[in-house]
Amino acid sequence: MARIAVIGAGMGAMATAARLAVAGHQVTVYERGDSYGGSVGRYEQDGFSFDTGPGLLHLPAVYRDLFVKTGKRPLEDLVDMVQLDPAVRHVLGDTTVTLPGASRGGVAAALDGAFGNGAGERWNAVLGRARDTWDATRRPLLEEPLRPDWQVLGRDPYPALRGSGLLRRRSPSLAEVAARELGGHLGELLAGRVRAYGLDPDAAPASAAALPYMEQTFGSWYVRGGMRELATAVYERCLERKVTFAFATPVREVLARGGRAAGVLLGDGTEAPADSVVCGIDPRRLPAKSVSWPHGGAPARGDGVPARLTLLLALRGARPADAVHRTLVHSPGLDVTVLRPDDPATRPDADHEAVTVTAVCGPAGGAPVPDPEELLDLAARAVPGLRSRMLWMRVRTPKDVEAATGALGGSVPPPALAGAGGRLLYPANTTALPGLYLAGGWAHPGGGLAHAGMTGALVAGLIVEGDGFRGSQ
């Protein structure tokens, strides 16, 4: 039995801790804050409840697998997880289109109705090529440790469109695919879905089309009571497996002796010895030489790393019957995502509604943060009468996110993608310091609830099986 020190109690860190505890290791999690979950937080006031981090889950199989591998009770016994249907409503100028959940034919019919005959066929053709991208990259990007020859993932696997004139000497960007293969509002629909992940379509490789493919194929899921309930379930599974949590206990540095990680130095000067250390926080807070970034260097504070500005809105009046859970309002230079869960746990009674409005923006110290009033104007296109219904609003800025989670600049990392010369890859789960491992959204395979959860299987496999671990089968 080895002693494992885990830094941070985010979702990736807890997923790692639970798997290592099942393998027989003694695991202690050191969290600088007063609670678990990392970015998966909750804000409550006057009977209203809001998610302060991710509002939806994609690829729920990641957490189903975690619970199957770490105990007898499956995930569905612990949380009420529902698939969104409709999956999303898009507002593009004067055009509104509502897309059903996980239905290829239903999506095509809705797009034909909004944009004319043939729109659905063009959309599904692009997502068919995105499926090929998904099939080519699923294992090396999601299920296996980052390969030493990661450069092979620097090439974009999105198939070229025959007769398009696109030269494979230079892989197209996602924006070029959207314009050339879809065009108009239909192309903007694809680009906006990718922007919601914090990616710039002009700079993102065409392989980013795998993200909307993933959503359409596997669905978007919500946990009743809010996504915080998922964090609570993972935390309680850790406790069942005898993981120890030390809250309000910051880690000052990783100790190294004999050329390998030997424990952590806590904020009060106490040394906590360990045989291995798992860093589940933003690795930019670690010594630079201990982490190898595939594309040549860690992004600096405010250097193109996306953040979020979030408005938490308490509204008077019942949620209308025709409301949808998620609406994406497209606007030049600024999109907003509006979440309106049909969940009694989020509101004091049926005569009120809790709404969350989010926009991708630059981190604190980087690009200007949008004016909340501008977000409200855009959100009103998804929620008629929004301003007249408002009881109060709470604004959550990138600085607030940094204070709550420790992520530099309030950064919210997007998932890893193939292409772009490896620029959208993350550090391997192993590091230059033997015995120090990386978990969570800032490690391979990147950000998002599902991807962070995947780091648990990868890091646990590397610690238990050693360098020969090649991923789940």
Domains 3-40+61-69+226-299+413-468 and 306-405 share a fold: no
**Distance separating alpha carbons of residues 385 and 418, to the nearest angstrom:** 43
- Identify the pLDDT of residue 473: 53
- Identify the pLDDT of residue 316: 98
The per-residue pLDDT for range 228-282, each reduced to its tens digit, is 999 999 999 999 999 999 999 999 999 999 999 999 999 999 999 999 999 999 8
Confidence of residue 409 (pLDDT cuts 50, 70, 90): confident
- Identify the pLDDT of residue 468: 82
Q: pTM to 2 decimals?
A: 0.94
* Whether the predicted pLDDT of 123 surpasses 90: yes
Is residue 321 exposed (0-12), middle (13-18) or buried (19+ Cβ within 10 Å)?
Answer: exposed
Closest listed residue to residue 396, CA positions, set 304, 293, 311: 311
Helix (H, G, I), strand (E, B) or coil at 108: helix
- Identify the pLDDT of residue 169: 58
Q: What is the mean pLDDT of residues 211-217?
A: 95
**Distance separating alpha carbons of residues 425 and 299, to the nearest angstrom:** 12
- Identify the pLDDT of residue 145: 94
When computed from its CA atoms, the radius of gyration of the chain, rounded to whole angstroms, is: 22
The per-residue pLDDT for range 300-332, each reduced to its tens digit, is 444 567 899 999 999 999 999 999 999 999 999
* Whether the predicted pLDDT of 290 surpasses 90: no
Q: What is the mean pLDDT of residues 181-187?
A: 96
The maximal CA–CA distance of the chain, rounded, in angstroms, is: 68
* Whether the predicted pLDDT of 413 surpasses 80: yes
Helix (H, G, I), strand (E, B) or coil at 111: helix
Write down the mean pLDDT value for the chain. 92
- Identify the pLDDT of residue 148: 85
Buried b (16+ CB within 10 A) or exposed e, 126-149: bbebbbebbebbeebbbebbbeee
Helix (H, G, I), strand (E, B) or coil at 78: coil
Distances (CA, A) of 179 to 89, 170, 189, 285, 357: 21, 16, 11, 39, 27
Q: Strands 307-316 and 352-361, how do they pair?
A: antiparallel
The per-residue pLDDT for range 85-101, each reduced to its tens digit, is 999 999 999 999 999 98
Confidence of residue 392 (pLDDT cuts 50, 70, 90): very high
* Whether the predicted pLDDT of 297 surpasses 90: no
- Identify the pLDDT of residue 367: 65
* Whether the predicted pLDDT of 17 surpasses 90: yes
The per-residue pLDDT for range 332-343, each reduced to its tens digit, is 989 999 999 999
Tokens of 97: 């289109």
* 371 contact partners, CB below 8 Å, separation of at least 6: none
Confidence of residue 1 (pLDDT cuts 50, 70, 90): confident
What fold characterizes domain 306-405? Alpha-Beta Plaits (3.30.70)
* Whether the predicted pLDDT of 364 surpasses 90: no
The per-residue pLDDT for range 416-458, each reduced to its tens digit, is 999 999 989 999 999 999 999 999 999 999 999 999 999 999 9
Tokens of 170: 């230079």
- Identify the pLDDT of residue 152: 86
CATH of 3-40+61-69+226-299+413-468, one of 3.40.720.10, 1.10.760.10, 3.50.50.60, 3.40.50.720: 3.50.50.60
Q: Which of 36-50, 119-133, 279-293, 333-347 has the lowest mean pLDDT?
A: 279-293
User: What are the boundaries of each domain within the chain?
Assistant: 3-40+61-69+226-299+413-468, 102-218, 306-405
User: Is the distance from CB of 452 to CB of 429 less than 8 angstroms?
Assistant: no
Strands, E assignment, 259-376: 260-266, 271-273, 276-279, 307-316, 326-330, 336-339, 352-361
Closest listed residue to residue 127, CA positions, set 230, 12, 207: 207
Amino acid at 49: S
Contacts by residues 94-102 (CB-CB < 8 Å, ≥ 24 positions apart): 95/185, 97/189, 98/324, 99/216, 101/219, 101/220, 102/216, 102/217, 102/218, 102/219
